[in-house]
Amino acid sequence: MDNIKDRKWHLTEDGEVLLFDKPYRWTSFDLVNKFRYWACRRLGVKKLKVGHAGTLDPLATGLMIICTGRCTKQLDTLQQGKKEYIATLKLGQTTPSFDLETEPDAEYPTEHITEQLISEVLPKFVGIIEQTPPAYSAIRVDGKRAYALARKGREVNLKPRLLVVEEIELLSTDLPEIIIRVVCSKGTYIRALARDIGVALGSGAHLTALRRTRIGEYRIEDAYPIELLDELLKRYVEPLPKEEKDGK
Protein backbone atom coordinates (compact mmCIF):
# COMPACT_ATOMS: atom_id res chain seq x y z
CA MET A 1 0.00 0.00 0.00
CA ASP A 2 1.25 3.47 -0.86
CA ASN A 3 2.83 5.12 2.16
CA ILE A 4 0.93 8.38 2.18
CA LYS A 5 2.92 9.60 5.18
CA ASP A 6 5.90 10.25 2.90
CA ARG A 7 4.21 12.63 0.46
CA LYS A 8 1.89 15.61 0.20
CA TRP A 9 -1.87 15.13 0.37
CA HIS A 10 -3.84 16.22 -2.68
CA LEU A 11 -7.30 16.50 -1.16
CA THR A 12 -9.08 18.06 -4.14
CA GLU A 13 -9.48 16.67 -7.67
CA ASP A 14 -8.07 13.10 -7.52
CA GLY A 15 -8.32 13.13 -3.74
CA GLU A 16 -6.86 10.89 -1.05
CA VAL A 17 -7.67 7.83 1.04
CA LEU A 18 -6.72 8.65 4.64
CA LEU A 19 -6.87 6.58 7.82
CA PHE A 20 -7.86 8.03 11.20
CA ASP A 21 -8.35 6.64 14.69
CA LYS A 22 -11.82 7.70 15.87
CA PRO A 23 -11.85 8.79 19.51
CA TYR A 24 -14.27 7.54 22.16
CA ARG A 25 -17.68 9.28 22.19
CA TRP A 26 -17.15 10.88 18.79
CA THR A 27 -19.69 10.03 16.12
CA SER A 28 -18.43 9.10 12.68
CA PHE A 29 -19.89 12.37 11.40
CA ASP A 30 -18.01 14.30 14.10
CA LEU A 31 -14.76 13.03 12.64
CA VAL A 32 -15.76 13.71 9.03
CA ASN A 33 -17.02 17.20 9.87
CA LYS A 34 -13.89 18.09 11.82
CA PHE A 35 -11.69 16.89 8.98
CA ARG A 36 -13.71 18.77 6.35
CA TYR A 37 -13.73 22.00 8.37
CA TRP A 38 -9.98 22.10 9.02
CA ALA A 39 -9.07 20.84 5.55
CA CYS A 40 -11.16 23.59 3.96
CA ARG A 41 -9.48 26.17 6.17
CA ARG A 42 -6.04 24.89 5.21
CA LEU A 43 -6.88 24.81 1.51
CA GLY A 44 -8.68 28.14 1.61
CA VAL A 45 -11.89 26.78 0.07
CA LYS A 46 -15.50 26.68 1.22
CA LYS A 47 -16.32 23.14 0.06
CA LEU A 48 -14.52 19.82 -0.10
CA LYS A 49 -15.94 16.44 -1.05
CA VAL A 50 -15.36 14.12 1.95
CA GLY A 51 -16.86 10.74 2.90
CA HIS A 52 -16.15 7.77 5.14
CA ALA A 53 -16.13 4.02 4.52
CA GLY A 54 -18.30 2.71 7.34
CA THR A 55 -19.62 4.18 10.58
CA LEU A 56 -18.50 3.42 14.10
CA ASP A 57 -20.75 3.74 17.15
CA PRO A 58 -19.94 6.74 19.37
CA LEU A 59 -18.74 4.44 22.16
CA ALA A 60 -16.42 2.55 19.80
CA THR A 61 -12.93 3.64 18.82
CA GLY A 62 -10.62 2.73 16.00
CA LEU A 63 -10.12 2.74 12.28
CA MET A 64 -12.08 4.99 9.98
CA ILE A 65 -11.28 5.48 6.31
CA ILE A 66 -11.76 9.03 5.07
CA CYS A 67 -11.88 9.69 1.32
CA THR A 68 -11.72 13.04 -0.46
CA GLY A 69 -12.19 14.25 -4.02
CA ARG A 70 -12.58 11.55 -6.65
CA CYS A 71 -11.47 8.93 -4.13
CA THR A 72 -14.98 9.15 -2.65
CA LYS A 73 -16.00 6.96 -5.58
CA GLN A 74 -14.12 4.14 -3.83
CA LEU A 75 -16.27 4.30 -0.69
CA ASP A 76 -18.72 1.57 -1.70
CA THR A 77 -15.86 -0.79 -2.54
CA LEU A 78 -13.96 0.01 0.65
CA GLN A 79 -17.07 -0.63 2.78
CA GLN A 80 -17.24 -4.19 1.47
CA GLY A 81 -13.89 -5.06 3.06
CA LYS A 82 -13.67 -7.45 6.00
CA LYS A 83 -13.76 -5.77 9.39
CA GLU A 84 -11.74 -6.76 12.44
CA TYR A 85 -12.73 -5.74 15.97
CA ILE A 86 -11.46 -6.20 19.50
CA ALA A 87 -14.49 -6.39 21.79
CA THR A 88 -14.80 -6.48 25.57
CA LEU A 89 -17.96 -8.19 26.84
CA LYS A 90 -19.35 -8.12 30.35
CA LEU A 91 -21.28 -11.31 31.04
CA GLY A 92 -24.25 -11.58 33.39
CA GLN A 93 -25.77 -8.23 32.55
CA THR A 94 -27.62 -6.63 29.64
CA THR A 95 -28.50 -3.09 28.63
CA PRO A 96 -31.17 -2.02 26.10
CA SER A 97 -28.46 -0.83 23.67
CA PHE A 98 -26.16 -3.81 24.41
CA ASP A 99 -23.35 -1.37 25.24
CA LEU A 100 -22.74 1.41 27.79
CA GLU A 101 -25.01 3.96 26.11
CA THR A 102 -27.87 2.79 28.36
CA GLU A 103 -28.09 1.59 31.96
CA PRO A 104 -28.29 -2.13 32.85
CA ASP A 105 -31.81 -3.52 32.62
CA ALA A 106 -31.33 -7.16 33.72
CA GLU A 107 -28.96 -9.42 35.65
CA TYR A 108 -28.19 -13.06 34.81
CA PRO A 109 -26.25 -15.89 36.46
CA THR A 110 -22.58 -16.40 35.57
CA GLU A 111 -21.52 -19.02 38.12
CA HIS A 112 -21.83 -21.78 35.53
CA ILE A 113 -19.68 -20.02 32.92
CA THR A 114 -16.14 -21.34 32.50
CA GLU A 115 -13.42 -20.63 29.97
CA GLN A 116 -14.07 -24.08 28.53
CA LEU A 117 -17.76 -23.29 28.02
CA ILE A 118 -16.87 -20.00 26.33
CA SER A 119 -14.42 -21.82 24.05
CA GLU A 120 -17.17 -24.28 23.09
CA VAL A 121 -19.77 -21.57 22.41
CA LEU A 122 -17.78 -19.05 20.37
CA PRO A 123 -17.18 -21.33 17.33
CA LYS A 124 -20.97 -21.61 16.94
CA PHE A 125 -20.95 -18.00 15.73
CA VAL A 126 -18.39 -18.59 12.98
CA GLY A 127 -19.71 -18.93 9.44
CA ILE A 128 -22.94 -17.69 7.89
CA ILE A 129 -25.15 -16.62 10.78
CA GLU A 130 -28.50 -14.92 11.19
CA GLN A 131 -28.41 -11.76 13.29
CA THR A 132 -31.15 -9.38 14.38
CA PRO A 133 -29.74 -5.83 14.51
CA PRO A 134 -30.06 -3.98 17.81
CA ALA A 135 -32.90 -1.49 18.22
CA TYR A 136 -30.26 1.15 18.95
CA SER A 137 -28.94 1.18 15.39
CA ALA A 138 -28.94 3.52 12.39
CA ILE A 139 -31.28 1.31 10.35
CA ARG A 140 -34.27 3.26 9.05
CA VAL A 141 -37.75 2.28 10.22
CA ASP A 142 -40.61 4.12 8.49
CA GLY A 143 -38.16 6.82 7.45
CA LYS A 144 -36.65 7.30 10.91
CA ARG A 145 -33.49 5.94 12.49
CA ALA A 146 -34.17 2.99 14.76
CA TYR A 147 -32.06 4.47 17.57
CA ALA A 148 -34.17 7.65 17.55
CA LEU A 149 -37.31 5.58 18.11
CA ALA A 150 -35.64 3.38 20.74
CA ARG A 151 -34.42 6.41 22.71
CA LYS A 152 -38.02 7.61 22.87
CA GLY A 153 -39.10 4.29 24.33
CA ARG A 154 -40.79 3.11 21.13
CA GLU A 155 -40.75 -0.59 20.31
CA VAL A 156 -38.53 -1.34 17.34
CA ASN A 157 -38.81 -4.62 15.43
CA LEU A 158 -36.00 -5.27 12.97
CA LYS A 159 -35.71 -8.21 10.62
CA PRO A 160 -32.85 -10.73 10.96
CA ARG A 161 -30.04 -10.54 8.43
CA LEU A 162 -27.59 -13.09 7.10
CA LEU A 163 -23.94 -12.17 7.53
CA VAL A 164 -20.55 -13.84 7.73
CA VAL A 165 -18.30 -14.14 10.76
CA GLU A 166 -14.95 -15.49 9.57
CA GLU A 167 -13.13 -15.66 12.90
CA ILE A 168 -13.77 -15.34 16.61
CA GLU A 169 -10.79 -15.63 18.93
CA LEU A 170 -10.93 -15.56 22.72
CA LEU A 171 -8.12 -13.23 23.74
CA SER A 172 -8.61 -13.16 27.51
CA THR A 173 -10.96 -14.34 30.24
CA ASP A 174 -11.38 -12.49 33.52
CA LEU A 175 -14.93 -13.41 34.43
CA PRO A 176 -17.42 -11.86 34.23
CA GLU A 177 -15.42 -10.09 31.49
CA ILE A 178 -14.02 -11.56 28.28
CA ILE A 179 -12.16 -10.01 25.35
CA ILE A 180 -12.60 -11.40 21.84
CA ARG A 181 -11.28 -10.66 18.37
CA VAL A 182 -13.84 -10.80 15.57
CA VAL A 183 -13.34 -10.79 11.80
CA CYS A 184 -16.65 -10.29 10.01
CA SER A 185 -18.48 -8.99 6.97
CA LYS A 186 -20.07 -5.62 6.41
CA GLY A 187 -23.28 -5.13 8.38
CA THR A 188 -22.26 -7.11 11.46
CA TYR A 189 -23.30 -5.53 14.74
CA ILE A 190 -20.80 -6.52 17.42
CA ARG A 191 -23.26 -5.36 20.08
CA ALA A 192 -25.79 -7.86 18.73
CA LEU A 193 -23.09 -10.51 18.65
CA ALA A 194 -22.39 -9.81 22.32
CA ARG A 195 -26.10 -10.17 23.06
CA ASP A 196 -26.29 -13.51 21.26
CA ILE A 197 -23.11 -14.86 22.88
CA GLY A 198 -24.59 -14.03 26.28
CA VAL A 199 -27.74 -15.97 25.46
CA ALA A 200 -25.74 -18.93 24.13
CA LEU A 201 -23.83 -19.00 27.42
CA GLY A 202 -27.11 -19.22 29.34
CA SER A 203 -26.67 -15.69 30.62
CA GLY A 204 -26.62 -12.16 29.26
CA ALA A 205 -23.92 -9.84 27.94
CA HIS A 206 -23.19 -6.37 26.68
CA LEU A 207 -20.20 -4.51 25.28
CA THR A 208 -18.05 -2.40 27.55
CA ALA A 209 -15.44 -1.57 24.89
CA LEU A 210 -15.10 -1.94 21.13
CA ARG A 211 -12.21 -1.10 18.82
CA ARG A 212 -12.09 -1.54 15.05
CA THR A 213 -8.61 -2.58 14.01
CA ARG A 214 -8.95 -3.40 10.31
CA ILE A 215 -11.05 -2.68 7.20
CA GLY A 216 -9.94 -4.78 4.24
CA GLU A 217 -6.20 -4.18 3.79
CA TYR A 218 -6.18 -1.06 5.97
CA ARG A 219 -5.03 -1.38 9.59
CA ILE A 220 -5.28 0.76 12.70
CA GLU A 221 -1.48 0.77 13.02
CA ASP A 222 -1.35 3.05 9.96
CA ALA A 223 -4.05 5.46 11.19
CA TYR A 224 -3.47 9.03 12.34
CA PRO A 225 -4.77 10.33 15.69
CA ILE A 226 -7.39 12.98 14.92
CA GLU A 227 -5.83 15.14 17.64
CA LEU A 228 -2.90 15.72 15.26
CA LEU A 229 -5.11 16.84 12.37
CA ASP A 230 -4.08 20.51 12.42
CA GLU A 231 -0.39 19.57 12.48
CA LEU A 232 -0.89 16.97 9.74
CA LEU A 233 -2.67 19.40 7.45
CA LYS A 234 0.11 21.96 7.87
CA ARG A 235 2.69 19.30 7.07
CA TYR A 236 1.02 17.51 4.16
CA VAL A 237 -1.38 20.01 2.55
CA GLU A 238 -0.41 23.10 0.56
CA PRO A 239 -2.97 25.94 0.42
CA LEU A 240 -4.45 26.26 -3.05
CA PRO A 241 -3.35 29.13 -5.29
CA LYS A 242 -5.91 31.92 -5.61
CA GLU A 243 -6.88 30.96 -9.16
CA GLU A 244 -7.67 27.38 -8.06
CA LYS A 245 -9.72 28.61 -5.10
CA ASP A 246 -11.77 30.82 -7.38
CA GLY A 247 -12.50 27.82 -9.60
CA LYS A 248 -13.84 25.67 -6.74
- Cis amide linkage into residue 176, ω under 30° from 0: yes
Render pLDDT for 115-130 as a digit per residue (tens, 0 to 9).
999 999 999 999 999 9
CATH number of the domain to which 191 belongs: 3.30.2350.10
Q: 74 and 96 share a domain?
A: no
Same domain (yes/no): 192, 227: no
Percent of the chain scored above 70 by pLDDT? 95
Number of domains into which the chain is organized: 2
d(CA 72, CA 78): 10
- Assess whether 74 and 85 both reside in one domain: no
Give the DSSP H/E element, type plus range, for residue 92. none
Q: How confident is the model at residue 244 (pLDDT cuts 50, 70, 90)?
A: low
Same domain? For 99 and 192 the reply is yes
Catalytic residue check, 76: no
Mean pLDDT of 151-171: 89
What's the mean pLDDT in 13-32?
96
Range of the domain at 27: 15-78+217-234
Domain identity same for 101 and 49: no
Mean pLDDT of 137-158: 80
Q: Are residues 199 and 230 in the same domain?
A: no
Q: What is the band of 3 on the pLDDT scale with cuts at 50, 70, 90?
A: very low
Residue range 208-235: mean pLDDT, rounded:
96
Give residues with Cβ within 8 angstroms of 10, minimum separation 6.
16, 69
Q: Are 11 and 39 in contact (CB under 8 A)?
A: yes
Considering only CA atoms, which of 63, 81, 80, 60 is closest in space to residue 19?
A: 63
pLDDT of residue 148: 80
Q: Kindly state whether residues 70 and 90 are assigned to the same domain.
A: no
127 and 72 in a common domain: no
- 40 domain residue, yes or no: yes
Identify whether residues 52 and 133 lie together within a single domain. no
pLDDT on residue 4: 54
Given the residues 21, 57, 99, 196, select the one marked as catalytic.
Answer: 57
Q: Is residue 91 part of a domain?
A: yes
